[in-house]
Structure 1
Amino acid sequence: MDLAFADTDEAFRLEVRAFFETRFPKDILDKIRRGQTLGKDDLVRAEKAYHAEGWSAANWPEEYGGTGWSVTQKYIFDEERERVGAPSVVPMGLLYVAPVIYTFGSPEQKQRFLPGILSSDVFWAQGYSEPGAGSDLASLQTRAVRDGDEYVVNGVKIWTSQAHYADWIFCLVRTSSAGKPQEGITFLCMDMKTPGITVRPIIGIDGSHYLNQVFFEDVRVPVGNRIGEENKGWDYAKYLLTHERTSYAHVARKKMDMARLKQLARTVTSDGRSLAEDPLFVQKMAEADVALASLEMTVLRAIASLSSGQAPGNESSILKIMATERAQEITELFVELGGLYSAHFITDRARPDWNSNSGIPDWASPSMASYLFTRAQTIYGGATEVQKNVIAKQVLRLP
């Protein structure tokens, strides 16, 4: 495998780098550096900055407004974006529901939904997990009953990311109890202004309002909002989840974090010496470096496969496990580096002054916030235990 980038790819890298240095909103980058959470306005402005360059839909086919980038160019764009700390696009619309719509939706649905997603004028949420159906998604119980030209939806979704910002939500709902649980699920899109939809916040242990619980009480949804066939939603969900699980790597961000960690380790002392001289801490950093290099090679192999026309398959579960465990490993090292300073109590991280306590290093509280947030990474998007089962059965072909 040739790991060198072509001259044209390096020229593209310089183009992307110039965009982030001169045209991307500086105030958004400043908020991220302070560890401040971004509001809906920030997220939309970031996406619109990408859209102005024609760069918001890297994975879409060109016929629907995609960039036409190669797999390598997508990798380079993400690498440069993460190098400066800029946010990615909010995945629920551009990365998750849009591929389902342009692959399985009707011509009318494509015309109706895709332009608003592409321009970031319509904000989406994903309604999958339920109080009794998380990693075992096939056991979901939110029910949609056909009533003429409408479905009547009742149920609850939980851990719904950014539902408090959403204009629309795409949900998996149960339309039949016959046969296997996976065979009675339908993919349904709903306007969040529809009567009967209630959003309640879930404040995370990291001090952020990112998650929500969404209640559906006799919500009437037009049949025209169903993507694909009734009771075939599980097939569309599997297609979506394959795209979701290949988006977790964030190698460039992790490499930047490791460089920052090593820099800080030279300034933090314990028993009269810097942690950069502590054999045990140095060993932990070295192990993290090796694991991160392994993740990067795995990502590059995936890029090589995609470049040859192979679609991402169950092997994406390997990337999901590796990427999320690396994120947890790196944030654990930052918390260890901060010691008691990392225990600073976190409240409302949306405030500009949330991290202004005197006497505490400005990197300590964000480190704890990141550590707490990454605890969920090995759960959401398919728990590690479930991914290992997928690898055993579908990749290794074990009984």
Structure 2
Amino acid sequence: MVNAEEYLLEIPMWTKQKNSLEDVRAYLEAMGNPDRALKAVHVAGTNGKGSVCAFLTCALKEAGFRTGTFVSPHLEQVRERFLINGEMADRESFEQSFSTVLAVTERMVGQGKCHPTFFEFLFYMAMVLFREKQVDVAVLETGMGGRLDTTNVIESPLACVITSISLDHTQYLGDTISAIAAEKAGIIKERTPVIFDGGQPEASAVIEGRAYFLDAPRYPVGEDDFAIRGSLDGGTGFLMSARMRDGRNLDFAVPFEARYQARNAMLAVRTLEILRGSGIAVDDRALRRGIRATRWPGRMEQAAPGLYLDGAHNPGGIAAFQEAVRDVTGRTEKEPYLLFAAVADKDYRSMAEAICRGIPWRGIGIARMKSSRGLDTAELAGVFRSFADCPVREYEDAETALADMRAAAEGQLLFCAGSLYLIGELRELLNT
């Protein structure tokens, strides 16, 4: 019997070419078009996609809707990408969906079709799994971009959501905010509501234009739509107020220390409001309870006392990370230490400069990751030393880095960032 995880993780080694959306549709047709049985919310953007998906999932669950959520990447195991009512899919269902997709793949490849990429295979599994579980709503996160993303085969979503845009994957999506926004706006469908982060004029203009062309109702979320009212006791989150479309203000608790989650929560709230028009009614009580119950690992996650994990890995994410670090250090009056790693295809020089000039770090550790995409520690440490006003240490593995940096930061605060691959390794170490 084929081991599902082993097979999936080996796909990138021998399948490089991304298939067209026409080829994706051919595969789905061979599976009985499971996607067409789903009511979907499609989420794109550079930063915050996963958090918005998590907020939506928990609120829908509280309202009694059976929800399937497809997200990426995973931190520790691939099953994390498939959620049923916010919980990782059980192994039996995971393996059944894998077997279904594998059988179709073998038949299609035998007919001359290209093998699915890693992400395509996972997407097919999600569609099969969600159909079998008879979910009421599917919350689907794009992998990269939007216009050509595998998930964009979805034809008639209930709503499209576009989170904040930043410079990331520039070799594929373009090297300007406008170009990247155009790729993200490619998920917008004719006459389908689009809820988007309206805080970036350059991106908003592109999204507005695409939505106007498709006669899609537009719901930008801006600074005037929400306000942070204060912190929860013990630094476990914050209170915020959302301006609803009917003019009311709705107050609720957000269980994250990072204030950047306020905008993501507001995007989810506005989306839930719009979904009421499609018969997906989430009342205020379910919304409050759902937002309060949301958990999303690796996003300014307090993994242990004084230890924070954040997957920030691009300019926009780093800026939000810095703001969160300032909030936490200001509240606790403790000094910050940093553990950092990056993959080679990111703009690590700009990230290092921004991080070093924005926060008075007491010490910085640079870790080597297991990922083959990881950047050489000597090179990354050299970049940090050119900007840092504190000692910068190099480590050959995440385990040694974590132990040494936790000892250095004893009684203070250790923040870990730069790559979700790093965060996954650290969470695995902390959970063993």
Q: TM-score range by the shorter chain?
A: under 0.3
TM-score, normalised via structure 1 length: 0.27
